[in-house]
Structure 1
Amino acid sequence: MCIRDRYIPVHPLHGQNINSRNSTTAASGYTRTEINQMASSSTFLVLTTLLALLSWQAIASDPSPLQDFCVADKDSHVRVNGFVCKDPKDVKADDFFLAANLDKPRDTTVSKVGSNVTLINVMRIPGLNTLGISLARIDYAPLGENPPHTHPRATEILTVLEGTLYVGFVTSNQDNKLFAKMLNKGDVFVFPEGLIHFQFNPCPDKPAVAIAALSSQNPGAITIANAVFGSKPPISDDVLAKAFQVEKKTVDWLQAQFWGDNHN
Structure 2
Amino acid sequence: MIVVTGATGGLGSATVEHLLKRVPADQIGVSVRDTAKAQHFADRGVRVRQGSYEDPGDAFAGAEQVLLISGNDPAADLVSLHGRAIEAAVAAGARRIVYTSQHGAAPDNPYLPSGLHLATEAILGDSGVAWTALRNGAYGPLDQVLGPWQQTGEIAQPEDGPVPYTDRADIAEATAALLAGDRSVDGPVTLAAPTAVTFGDFAEIASGLTGRTIKRVVLDDESWVAAQVANSAPEQATHFMLTWYQATRAGYFAESGPLLAELLGREPRTVADRLAETI
Same fold (TM over 0.5): no
Structure number having the greater strand percentage: 1
Normalised to the residue count of structure 1, the TM-score between the two structures is 0.24
Normalised to the residue count of structure 2, the TM-score between the two structures is 0.23
Structure number having the greater helix percentage: 2
